Structure formats: C-alpha cells, structure tokens
Structure 1
Amino acid sequence: MSEAGNWCLIESDPGVFTELISGMGVKGVQVEEIYSLDESTMEELKPVYGLIFLFKWQKAEAVPSLAHSDNSPTDHIFFANQVINNACATQAILSILLNRDDIDLGDELRNFKEFTFDFPPDMKGLAISNSDLIRSVHNSFARSDPFVNEMKDPRGSKDEDLFHFIAYLPIHGALYELDGLSSGPVNLGPCTDDNWTNKANEAISNRMGRYGNSELHFSLMALTRDRIEVYEEQIEEKDCLLLSLPEDANAERNKINRERSYLEHRLHLEKEKRQMWHRENMLRKHNFIPLAYNLLRILAERKELTPLITQATQKVLAENERKSKK
C-alpha cells in the first residue's frame, strides 16, 4: 500500500464524518447513523445521497450474490482502489460525494474529481493518497494517544478483528456497491430514486447474513442533505403559506402554526446535536496524556498514589474472587 504519509484510524461516528466532509469544503450535507432502511426512516431523511456500511472484514470476501451479471460499462463511475492504510472510511465517503451531481463539492474536491476523471482505479487511489487536502482533513481526527497503534489495515493482521467501510448508492439507474478493496464497482441491479434504499437493504442484509447470529458489529450511516438547511427551508415555506391565507382561515392557520412549531423544535434539536458533535470532536482531538501525567505526579508527591493503587488492586482481587465462587 502507498505510504503517502501515515493515515490515522478514525472513529465510526456521524459527527466525525460530518465534520470531515465539511473540512474538505463540501457544503449542504451531513451524515446520520440509522438503524433501519424502512420507508418512514428514509422519508424523514430525504434526500439520501448514499449509505456507508461498516462490517468486520473477512479475508475471503466474495462478490455479493445479488450482483448483476451484465457487462455494463463503469467508466461513468468514480471508483478508487484503496491503496492507503486506514483510509476506507474516507474513501467510502468520497465514493458517494464524487458520484453525485447534486452535491456542492467545493472548489478543491470539484477540481480533484475533474483532474482524476480518466484515471484508472489504482491511479485514483494514488491520487487520493497524494491529496494534501484529503489526507490532512482525515488526519485531523487522529487520536492524541501515544499508546494507540494508528497504523492498521484489513490486510495487515491475522490476530484481531478488523473493520471496513463500503458505500452503496444509485448511479444512472442502478444500485452500486463501491468497495476500495474490490477490483471494481459491483452492479446490484436496476433501481429508481424511490426504491434504491430497499434494494440496498436487501444487499446489506445479504452481507450480514454471511456472519451468522454471533456477529453484531455492524454500523450503517446515511449521507443526507443538511438537516438544518432542510428545516429552515420548510419553516420558510410555512411562513409563506401563512402570509397567503385569508383572514378568516383560522383552522388552516392553526394547523400550519402547529406544523411550524414542530419544525422549529426539530431545528432546535438539530442545532443542539451539532454543538454536541463539535464538542465531542474537540475532545477526540485533545491530548489528555499531560493532564493524566500531572495528576499522577501530584498524587505521588503527596504520597497518595500508592494507597490508591493498593486499594484498587484489592478491589479487583476481591471482585475476581467473588466471580470465581459463582
């Protein structure tokens, strides 16, 4: 794999992904964690641009059984082979962003897409690895922890569970699975803007079914339009409706005001969630090692550290003894 700078592991979290996308200059989108692809969930999140699926990687990954067997050309698809350690999350995000025409990519990603348009998948992967913007934004989420081994890759270890991100999205009337560790895009068959998430649900369920009931480590996120923008536009629409009503339309006015109040509540919750995401991201990036070191040093100087260690050790031994007697 390419070593174009070390790429850190990043946490599977909608707040992390949303801030990462914003850091690359993309406007008007966010990531939401979802637990179902049912119609009501998808209707609430519309428009959904694509899905990001996290699963435990297996060495002998097979092509999904739902794959379409035709030989449709894929030169209209941005597909990059993963040639970078730990880059699968960012590549899954890019797989959606760079295959949509209805997302404001910003100048740098738009130029990157145009520059790499005719590149083969391996060269697209190398272009990602050499992008200062993409690498620096990705690595801005590196954990400030000297005890964490940041360099891990699905093909790099046999002794631990390793996880991998892939993307699902509709492209020109077909549902595609885009996995940087595959040789190319996987066509899962024709779909429409209305039913593609149902088809993706089938493909994801099929993949999860290979693991049996013992495996629970999956995560699914949706790349959607910025919910703050959506709610603000909907509130503005309600205001326009209110202004257009005749003075005697009290029942209709009350109904619209109730709907507007509900949207205001959702907007308030969304803004609170963004503030929480920002705070959590700041904490992720902060190095707490000096704080911990100084706390331990002060306790040692006060001769309070050894008694605390002894007390904690005795507590653990007592708990282990209690469990062994069960």
Structure 2
Amino acid sequence: MTTSGAGHDEWCLIESDPGVFTELIRGFGATGVQVEELYSLEPECFENLKPVHGLIFLFKWVADDFSDGSRLTDKAILDELFYAKQVIHNACATQALISILMNCHHGDLKLGQTLADFKEFTRSFDAHLKGLSLSNADQIRAVHNSFARQQVFEFEGKSKKKEKEDAFHFISYIPFAGRLIELDGLKEGPYDLGPIAEGDDWVATARPHIEKRMQKYATGEIHFNLMALVSDQKMVLSRRLAELTAAKPAEQGSAISEEVQLQVEHLKMLIGDEEAKMERYKAENIRRKHNYLPLIVDILSMLAEQGKLVEQYEKAKSKSIQQLKLKKKKKPSGESSS
C-alpha cells in the first residue's frame, strides 16, 4: 500500500543527493553553505572544497550500537553542543544535516531566522526534548516533506508478502571544541572519537573512523554514501576573484599581471561551473517534486486508442526482464529509512 506522500505528522524518505541537501539548507533559510558529494576521503578529493564544516554519512543500518568512540561525557562540551535524539521515523536525513548546521561556527554560515530561533528555543532542552521539538517543527518538516515522492495509487486487498527492504541511516561527523564528534540521532548521545591535533585537518582525523565503519560491509558491496557540508563555493570563488582584481596593476610587473589574469579567467570559469551546477540541481529537484501522473495517464490513453498499448507493454516487460538478468548486484536506493 502506498499513499500520496507524507502526512502532517510523517516525514518522507530523503534521497542522498547533494542537490537535495543543498535545497534543504536553502529551504530552512540558512545561507553561505552547500553540500557536496565525496567519492573518497583522500586529501586531493576535498582539497578544493575547504573549509569542510561537517560530514554526512549514509550507510546500511544494522541492529547494533557500533561506534568507533566512546559516549561524550565532557559537560562543558555537552552544554554547548546541539544534539537531538531521533524520535520519529525517516527524520535522520534532516537531523544529520541540522546537527552540522547548529554546531558550525564558521563565519560563512548564516543560520537564518528559522534555525536560529529553533536553536535558541531548545537551548536548555535535553536531547529527547530537542528531538521532540524538531519532529514538531512545522516549517522544518514542510521543507523536508517537499521532497515526498508523488505517489497517488492505493492498493487494497491481499498481495504477495513484500520483500524486506534494506534500511539506511544518516549520521554526522563534526569538529567541535578540538574533538571529533559523531552525532547519531538513534544513540543516547554524542560520541567522542578523540582529539584533533592542533594544525591537523579534521577530515584526515575522521578518515580512519569512517573507513572502519565501511569495513563492516562485505568487500565489493556498496552500502554507503558520503557528503560534505562546505562553504558556498560560488561565494568562496568570488572572494578569491575580488582579492585578485583588487590588486593595483601599477604595482605588478607584466609577467605577474599575466599570471594574475590567468588566475582571474580560471576563477571565472569555476564560478560559471558552480552556477551551472546550481541550475542543474534546480531542474533535477523540480523533476523530483513534479507529479507526472496526469501525463502518464494521457500517454496510456492515447496508446490504448491507437491499439498500441499492449504492444508497448510487452516490449517494456521484455526489456525489464533482460535488465534484471544482467544485474549482478543489488544497489541501495540511497534513501533514509530510519
């Protein structure tokens, strides 16, 4: 049985996609940051994305209490750290994202009124009450549920037993007060993964902990996804461009001026790439949210009137069977179901 989306008190599944998470941030009213997908934790893979404010890790959830650290007990840190217990199904994507936003103190991030008011309102709450408050935050839930899939069919009666689906879960990693902190809403509190050495890149400190979690899964299987919350890349690049163009040409030799001009052109190209990427995200998100049912019904009706519906159905069925035969591995949906 499927319904037409998330109800008033329900939270929908969220796809693990940087465009989706970036739009969630904008919907919450926060600015100055975006989400990027990471294909590796090797330094060269995120060198151009610095500063990284937090990592969001999606993995195949199993019923255990695995963590590569110990429960955070430092009261001074706990008093300043925002941590909300997950008390509602499917909320882990937004909770993982908000956990980073609420604990990021970088000047590029502007929380916006919705999140700033929520943070202040829940400042004295314990983790469970923070979770309850988050699950009942209408505006945050509305933004989250704007990505509910457009499903309008409801099937009644008995059917074959539904195959059990894998469950996926989002957690966050952040640097906080000189420590690497793991924030998992299903646990009783934040976990301390150890100190971040002064001058070290905190992502490098996080790498072995994330790799250890990845190793929990069989070799060759893909059951995880990693994204980073970073500063707005267009904003960062525009700052660099402004710094270069602010230099007085009279103070530079011709060779240096030529080198600067090359850097300027390169930065302009990168800014153009960022603008194109955001336009692509926008188009993809419109498609995700659009209800294609009326179009599908019209197409099916036209095919039926022309006597071609059964023929097209048989072709599609045959193609689907061939694809299933060729598929060797089951790939996760990349959605939260915890």
TM-score (norm 1): 0.88
Are 1:33 and 1:221, in contact at CA under 8 Å, matched by a contact in 2?
yes
Name 2:332's counterpart in structure 1.
none
Name 2:104's counterpart in structure 1.
100
Name 2:173's counterpart in structure 1.
168
Correspondences of 1:171-320 after superposition (within 5 Å): 171-191=176-196, 192=198, 194-241=200-247, 243-246=248-251, 249-312=253-316
Alpha-carbon separation, structure 2, partners of 1:178 and 1:52: 10
Alpha-carbon separation, structure 2, partners of 1:279 and 1:311: 30
Are 2:72 and 2:190, in contact at CA under 8 Å, matched by a contact in 1?
no
Cα offset for 1:264? 0.7
Partner secondary structure for residue 170 of structure 1: strand
Are 2:71 and 2:189, in contact at CA under 8 Å, matched by a contact in 1?
no
TM-score (norm 2): 0.85
| Residues 182, 303 of structure 1: alpha-carbon distance in 2 compared, 3 angstrom cutoff | same
| Residues 194, 43 of structure 1: alpha-carbon distance in 2 compared, 3 angstrom cutoff | farther
Partner secondary structure for residue 10 of structure 1: coil
| Residues 146, 69 of structure 1: alpha-carbon distance in 2 compared, 3 angstrom cutoff | closer
Alpha-carbon separation, structure 2, partners of 1:165 and 1:173: 23
Name 2:88's counterpart in structure 1.
84
| Residues 205, 313 of structure 1: alpha-carbon distance in 2 compared, 3 angstrom cutoff | closer
Cα offset for 1:108? 1.6
Find runs of 4+ consecutive structure 1 residues off by over 6 angstroms.
Answer: 314-317
| Residues 252, 204 of structure 1: alpha-carbon distance in 2 compared, 3 angstrom cutoff | same
Higher relative contact order (Cα pairs below 8 Å, separated by 6+ residues): 2
Letter in 1 for 2:53: Y
Which consecutive unaligned segments of at least 5 residues does structure 2 have? 1-6, 156-161, 327-338
Q: Say whether residues 1:31 and 2:41 are aligned partners.
A: no
Correspondences of 1:115-154 after superposition (within 5 Å): 115-146=121-152
Which consecutive unaligned segments of at least 5 residues does structure 1 have? 150-156
Are 1:168 and 1:175, in contact at CA under 8 Å, matched by a contact in 2?
yes
| Residues 137, 120 of structure 1: alpha-carbon distance in 2 compared, 3 angstrom cutoff | same
Alpha-carbon separation, structure 1, partners of 2:268 and 2:67: 45
1:22 to 16, 22, 26: 26
Alpha-carbon separation, structure 1, partners of 2:297 and 2:281: 27
Alpha-carbon separation, structure 2, partners of 1:80 and 1:4: 21
Alpha-carbon separation, structure 2, partners of 1:230 and 1:40: 18
Letter in 2 for 1:190: P
Aligned-residue Cα RMSD (Å) equals 2.4
Partner secondary structure for residue 272 of structure 1: helix
Name 1:114's counterpart in structure 2.
120
| Residues 209, 108 of structure 1: alpha-carbon distance in 2 compared, 3 angstrom cutoff | same
Partner secondary structure for residue 26 of structure 1: coil
Cα offset for 1:43? 2.7
| Residues 306, 202 of structure 1: alpha-carbon distance in 2 compared, 3 angstrom cutoff | same
Are 1:170 and 1:193, in contact at CA under 8 Å, matched by a contact in 2?
no
Identity, % of aligned positions: 44
Partner secondary structure for residue 175 of structure 1: strand
1:166-210 per-position Cα deviation (integer Å, ceiling 9, x unaligned): 000011110000000011000001114632111111110011111
Are 1:8 and 1:142, in contact at CA under 8 Å, matched by a contact in 2?
yes
Are 1:177 and 1:185, in contact at CA under 8 Å, matched by a contact in 2?
yes
Q: How many equivalent residue pairs? A: 308
Q: Say whether residues 1:8 and 2:9 are aligned partners.
A: no
| Residues 211, 257 of structure 1: alpha-carbon distance in 2 compared, 3 angstrom cutoff | same
Alpha-carbon separation, structure 2, partners of 1:76 and 1:288: 46
